[in-house]
Every structure is written in structure tokens, then in C-alpha cells.
Amino acid sequence: MTKAWLEKRKRDYYYQKAKKEKYRSRAAYKLLQAASKYKFIRKGDIVVDLGSAPGGWLQASRKLVGAKGFVLGVDLKPIDPLPEENVQTLIGDITDKKLAKKIMELLPRKADVVLCDASPNISGVWEVDHARQIDLATHALRLAERILKRKGNFFVKVFQGDMLNDYIKEMKRLFYTVRLIKPQASRAESSEIFLLGIELNG
Ligand SMILES: C[S@@+](CC[C@H](N)C(=O)[O-])C[C@H]1O[C@@H](n2cnc3c(N)ncnc32)[C@H](O)[C@@H]1O
């Protein structure tokens, strides 16, 4: 992180807002804005969040599901526990074939929603980062097929690039509706966009 990058972050509107509203990341607003528009997380839902450290999306999901829902966060890194007992975390790797089973052991039933904001380590080489990101998103999609209930929803971050069309095609095969979303909180200069798969056709 350069000094210029740290200075720019301090001036960032959503960074300041997250600090004020005690969200662990500015990314929380990307989820809140998309969920507010498309209503894909409801009170009482079971949500699994893949690539969830430091936990901004976990806080946002907890707000949306309320006290009767359940939120499980998975990341390679440990996540500081959240105060609410219906938010749990698991150290895990999205690419691990045994992860679906480990997740299902912690859920009361199949998930209503699977989220994925996982990012690879950024190399700075566009094609490499795009390929690594699509690989993570593909593992997340495979996982979602196993842990989502029929008609469940899937919300995933992807980087734009030449492999994206095939990924969207695969999502269209699995979900009744697929939307491309660029929330206001996602920086215009960032190549990230979000895909929402509505209702797994199971
Ligand atoms: C942008 S951060 C997520 C931020 C989070 N949504 C929030 O609001 O706090 C991306 C995360 O993906 C995680 N990640 C990357 N590769 C992963 C993998 N193979 N399995 C699990 N997590 C992974 C990273 O450790 C990192 O914490």
C-alpha cells in the first residue's frame, strides 16, 4: 500500500461512512445497495458468504436476515468474531472439494443465499488477475450448486475480461434469471462487477 493509496482511501466517501457506521469494510455498501434494489436476501434467510474477511458483508447480511436468520462466513483468513450468535465463521478454502460438506455440517438446512466477494492476490497483470478471479468465482458457483436450496439466490463478484461471457452463460444455465450489477459503492474505475443469479433451477 503506497502513501498515495492510503491518502486516497482516507478521502473516500464509503470508507468514511463505513468507519462512522462501524462496518468492517466499505464493501458492505456494495451488498446493501444491491440487496436493497433486488431484494435477494430476506428476513430469516440462511446466508453463506464466501471470501468474507474482514466481515463487512457478514455485518450487512446479519442486518438483512435479522435475529431469526443465520449467516456463515468462510475465508482463508480467520475473522474476528461478530457479537451476534447467529453469525458464525469458518476458516476454509473455496477451492477445497470438502468445503461443501463442512459448510453443510454447520447449517440447519440448505442456504437461501450464497454470496462471494473473494479476490485473489492481485498481480497487477490484467489477464492473470481476471483468470484467477474467474477461477475463484467458478469454484464458488460449484459450491453454490451443492449448498443452495432450490430457488436459492447467488451473488458473486467478478472482474471483467474475456472469460466473463462463458461464466455468465454457465450462470444462465443454472438460474432462472441473471442480472449484472454495478453498485454505486463500487468504484467506477474498478473492473469489478457483480452477477446475481436469481432462483437456482435445481
Ligand atoms: C475483498 S475481500 C472480502 C471482503 C468482504 N466481503 C467484506 O465485506 O469484508 C476478499 C477475501 O477473499 C478471500 N479469499 C481469497 N481466496 C480465497 C479462497 N480460495 N478461499 C476463501 N477465501 C478466499 C481473501 O482472504 C479475502 O479476505
Active-site residue list: 157
Domain that holds residue 174: 25-200
Q: Is 89's pLDDT higher than 80?
A: yes
Pocket of ligand 1 contains residue 117 by CB under 6 Å: yes
Pocket of ligand 1 contains residue 57 by CB under 6 Å: yes
Range 162-188 average pLDDT: 96
Residue 44 identity (one-letter amino acid): G
Query: Does residue 19 fall inside a structural domain?
Result: no
Pocket of ligand 1 contains residue 161 by CB under 6 Å: no
User: Which CATH number belongs to the domain containing residue 136 in this structure?
Assistant: 3.40.50.150
pLDDT in tens, 127-153: 899 999 999 999 999 999 999 999 999
Distance in angstroms (rounded) separating the CA atoms of residues 144 and 155: 10
C-alpha cell at 159: 472482474
- Ligand 1 atom with the shortest distance to the CA of 95: 19
Q: How high is the mean pLDDT of the chain?
A: 95
Query: Does residue 8 fall inside a structural domain?
Result: no
Going by alpha carbons, the residue nearest to atom 13 of ligand 1 is: 51
Domain count, the chain: 1
pLDDT in tens, 96-108: 999 999 999 999 9
Distance 50 CA to ligand 1 centre (A): 7
Query: Does residue 4 fall inside a structural domain?
Result: no
Pocket of ligand 1 contains residue 31 by CB under 6 Å: no
pLDDT at residue 124 in the model? 87
Q: Is 167's pLDDT higher than 70?
A: yes
Q: With beta carbons less than 8 A apart as the criterion, state whether 115 and 49 touch.
A: yes
Query: Does residue 131 fall inside a structural domain?
Result: yes
Q: With beta carbons less than 8 A apart as the criterion, state whether 157 and 116 touch.
A: yes
Query: Does residue 91 fall inside a structural domain?
Result: yes
Query: Does residue 45 fall inside a structural domain?
Result: yes
pLDDT in tens, 9-34: 667 899 999 999 999 999 999 999 99
pLDDT at residue 1 in the model? 65
Going by alpha carbons, the residue nearest to atom 25 of ligand 1 is: 76
- pTM recorded for the entire structure: 0.95
Distance 52 CA to ligand 1 centre (A): 5
pLDDT band at residue 3 under the 50/70/90 scheme = confident
pLDDT at residue 51 in the model? 98
Strands 111-116 and 46-50: parallel
